[in-house]
Amino acid sequence: MNSENEKILSQSVQFLKSIGPKRADSFKKIGISTIRDLLFYFPSRHLDRTTTITTANAYSYLLDGFTGEITIIGKVVEKEQIRFGKKELLKIQMRDSSGFFECVWFQGIKYFSNLFKENDIVAVSGKPVISKFHALQFTHPDFDRITEDESINFLNTGKIIPFYKVPKELKVTNLGDFSLRKIISSTVENYSNYLDETLPEDILLENNISGIVEAVRNYHFPDCHENLLTAVRRFKFEELFYLEILVALKKYNYKTKISGLSMKVQSNLIKDFLNILPFNLTESQLKALSDIRNDMGKALPMNRLLQGDVGSGKTIVALIAMLIAVDNGFQAVLMAPTEILADQHAKNITALLDKLYKVHSERKIKLSLLLGGQKKSIKEGNLKEIKDKESDIIIGTHALFEEKVEFNNLGLVIIDEQHRFGVDQRWKIQSKGKTPDIIVMSATPIPRTLSMTIYGDLDVSIIDEMPKNRIPVKTILRGDKSLPDIYKFIIDKLKDGYQSFVVYPLVEESQKIELKAAQTFYNDLTNSYLKDLSVGLIHGRMSWQEKEEAMLKFQAKQFDVLIATTVIEVGIDIPDANIILINDAQRFGLSQLHQLRGRVGRGSKQAYCILVTKDEFISINNKHKLDLDYLSPAMMDKYRAAIRLQSMVNYNDGFKIAEIDMKLRGPGNIFGIQQSGFPELHHADLLNDEEILLNAKLKAFEIVESDPKFILDKNQIIKKNLLRNYSSSLKYSQIA
């Protein structure tokens, strides 16, 4: 890399024309310090001939059934604020040379009203409709202002105009749409030539990707739409390529460490265990188990993701893996995300081990449970057992690995509900033993492209089948006026042995308020609808001992109803709890609702998930056909909560639910990617850039396999760029 170029680009933006110390300061506040930073401040949109049409054309397109996004350049004619009932709207009339159109806002009326002045020229983008009064109408459109000159130039030459976000930090120093565009334009003109290439030549050629200088120029000021797409594609590719290089390095690091933990995977212990199970494993469970056995038999460390919907029976598969490890003389660890879940795992597994001991008395398997709030004496006893290799199976929360636990001979680590932990956790564990085998379990299904990155270094087994005795949970959506009837139903079902969860959302941040809300809710119910029932309460402010007590009493049927916050969300398994009533269900996220629903229907009786919400969320459902593929983003925004609830009613399948969740959240907010420890993506989108990702991955893995230390000449560029731009993601790989 050319250090002379570097020097020039590393100069402060203050050296640029029309940027003084004040403006430089405000640029700094939005993360732009150097000239290089400014070159990479790309437009958020472009005004483009291919999507810009006249009002008259827009009319005829819409009449032909067109529903996509368009842009019209118009001049503000007049503003109007209209009241109807309690509501209010802002309507702005605009015109172009071919006719009139209008923009409507229901929110931020004052703000938008002040923003637009008569004769302003605005590029309005959105999906318009033809209104009741035959007007061409945009609702809450995107818009950008342009100058008269720009608009004339654009209409005459078709030159593409970039639009940049102007954050308030810049506005303070009088930078606006026009001035920012001017500054960036001259910077690109004068400085983009100094950029050094960051991708190897052969990759550029093979993938038909433009060089960095050309790409930067075309991203800002493309001559045509085609050039813009090519430029954007380069940055998407680059981002995904380096992401996959990181993934490949991680995988490479695993595979080259020899664990020496090659285990014997067939034994009487396992055979006896399968015999004492009250059920047969499903085909999927057997397949996952065979994958795991395969891995454990090999001398390489296992890194496997076990994915399966809520209730598909992952725990038993994990337990068998633990027994294999124990049978080979190793310790096995099971980590749960919450203390009550760890506690529950310990209880269930102890019961199974006792049963096993009756038929397999050669070996008594010892289980230790390690929890955060344990008494000092108990904890120290446990730690000693673990250290002295008295414990075979160790169960605990992640606290287990934050403290000074010394394992004696750790052979296997199982992480339940992996999405609850960061990726770092896995690395911490592996540093504890001699590269033990690892299984991570997750009930959150994710699309292939995403798992290729977040879990790209793992092998995957999927349990895609439910145990045979299951009847799908019936999900019912009701308005809160129905609550008395629902409580009657809960009481009525008691005679069939049904227990119920009653879940309520907590929005308060403060612990004190939360505690009070929980108690108030409990008092209200036990003084009214549920006054003749025995009712328990469990919430997040209890110690795990208190939680355990409540769960045990519920399990022992001392409570008919357990009032709960989302502390019961993950993993809890009470076979006779067959009703879950979720209050204010609109407040919960979709995967959270699905997890909560997974708390019931774990036995063989018909279970019910009753979602209670405000009437408005139900009447919306009746009025509109909530088909996601046809909903505009604006509709999605508006009806997000209603869509979540309706999806719960329509679908039981976790994969379908996850897919909808992803669409509703948008690719940027997908759960897991933030915690994955990978760099943030600015250009690429894991849901929609699958093809680019596949190519980038192929190339990245090929390079890491053939030249993992980046010694070859042609790969020097990769090494340099990794060290410069991705150093914080490299902490687990040694490339230098």
Residues that bind Mg ion (CB under 5 A): 571
100 binding partner (options ligand ADP, Mg ion, none; Cβ < 5 to 8 Å by kind): none
In whole angstroms, the minimum distance from the beta carbon of 338 to ligand ADP comes to: 13
Residues 6 or more apart from 356 whose CB is under 8 A from it? Answer: 269, 272, 273, 276, 365
Range list of H helices, 277-374 = 283-297, 314-327, 339-359
- CB-nearer residue toward Mg ion: 487 or 501: 501
Please choose, from the candidates 125, 136, 155, 140, the residue with its C-alpha nearest in 3D space to the C-alpha of residue 63.
136
> Residue 322, interface with ligand ADP (CB under 6 A)?
no
Three-class SS of residue 541?
coil
Residue 423, contacted partner among Mg ion, ligand ADP, none, CB below 5-8 A by kind: none
Give the SS3 label for residue 136: strand
Using CB under 6 A as the binding rule, the residues of this chain from 598 to 657 that contact ligand ADP are: 602
Shortest Å distance, C-beta 460 to ligand ADP: 15
Residue least distant from Mg ion (Cβ): 571
Print the binding letters for residues 280-319 with ligand ADP: x by CB under 6 A, - otherwise.
Answer: -xx--x----------------------x-xxxxxxx---
Q: What phi and psi values does residue 432 have, to the nearest 5 degrees? A: -80, -40
Token readout for 656 is 């379908």
Alpha-carbon span 727 to 561, nearest angstrom: 52
What's the closest the beta carbon of residue 265 comes to Mg ion, in angstroms? 23
Q: Which is nearer to ligand ADP, 123 or 334 (CB)?
A: 334
Burial class (CB in 10 A: 0-12, 13-18, 19+), 208: exposed
Q: Does 573 bind ligand ADP (CB under 6 A)?
A: yes
Closer to ligand ADP by Cβ: residue 125 or 652: 652
Residue of minimal CB distance from ligand ADP?
A: 313
State the Cα–Cα distance between residues 87 and 189, nearest whole angstrom: 49
Backbone angles phi, psi at 667, to 5 degrees: -60, -25
Q: 313 touches which of ligand ADP, Mg ion, none (CB within 5 to 8 A by kind)?
A: ligand ADP
At what angle are helices 212-220 and 225-256 packed, to 10 degrees? Answer: 130
Give the nearest distance from C-beta 572 to Mg ion in angstroms.
9
Cβ closer to Mg ion: 571 or 654?
A: 571
Which lies closer to ligand ADP via its Cβ, residue 325 or residue 574? 574
Shortest distance (Å) from residue 393 CB to ligand ADP: 16
In the list ligand ADP, Mg ion, none, the entry touching 279 (Cβ below 5 to 8 angstroms by class) is ligand ADP
Rg of the chain over Cα atoms, rounded to whole angstroms, equals 30
Q: Which is nearer to Mg ion, 43 or 337 (CB)?
A: 337
430 vs 578 by CB, closer to ligand ADP? 578
Which burial class, exposed, middle or buried, applies to 308 when counting CB atoms under 10 A from its CB (0-12, 13-18, 19+)?
Answer: buried
Distance CA 118, CA 157 (A): 26
Query: Contacting ligand ADP (CB under 6 A), which of 279, 424, 427, 557?
Result: 279
Burial class (CB in 10 A: 0-12, 13-18, 19+), 736: exposed
Binding mask 464-503 for ligand ADP (x = CB under 6 A): ---x-x----------------------------------
Find the part of the chain contacting ligand ADP (CB under 6 A) among 7-15, 113-121, 277-285, 362-370: 277-285
Residue with token string 């990726």: 423
Binds 602: which of ligand ADP, Mg ion, none (CB < 5-8 Å by kind): ligand ADP
349 belongs to the binding site for ligand ADP (CB under 6 A): no
Give per-residue burial for 510-538: e unless 16+ CB within 10 Å, then b: eeeebbebbeebbeebbeebbeebebbbb
Tokens of 281: 């494993």
Residue 608 CA to residue 580 CA, distance in Å, equals: 6
User: Cβ 318 to ligand ADP, closest distance in Å?
Assistant: 8
Q: Can you tell me the distance from the alpha carbon of 4 to that of 8, in angstroms, rounded to the nearest whole number?
A: 7
Half-sphere exposure (CA, 13 Å, Cβ side) for 216?
23
Instruction: For the CB of residue 313, give the shortest distance to ligand ADP in the complex, in Å.
Output: 3
Cβ-based nearer residue to ligand ADP, 315 or 652? 315
Residue 308 beta carbon to ligand ADP: minimum distance, rounded to whole angstroms? 5
Q: In this complex, which beta carbon is closest to Mg ion, that of residue 396 or of residue 571?
A: 571
Q: Is 463 exposed, middle or buried (0-12, 13-18, 19+ CB in 10 A)?
A: buried
Tokens of 438: 């690892």
Q: How far is the CB of 426 from Mg ion (least distance, A)?
A: 18
Q: Name the binder of 35 from ligand ADP, Mg ion, none, CB < 5-8 A by kind.
A: none
Q: Is 77 within 8 Å of 95 (Cβ atoms)?
A: yes
Pairing of strands 499-503, 561-564: parallel
Q: Which residues contribute to the site for ligand ADP (CB under 6 A)?
A: 279, 281-282, 285, 308, 310-316, 443, 467, 469, 571, 573, 602
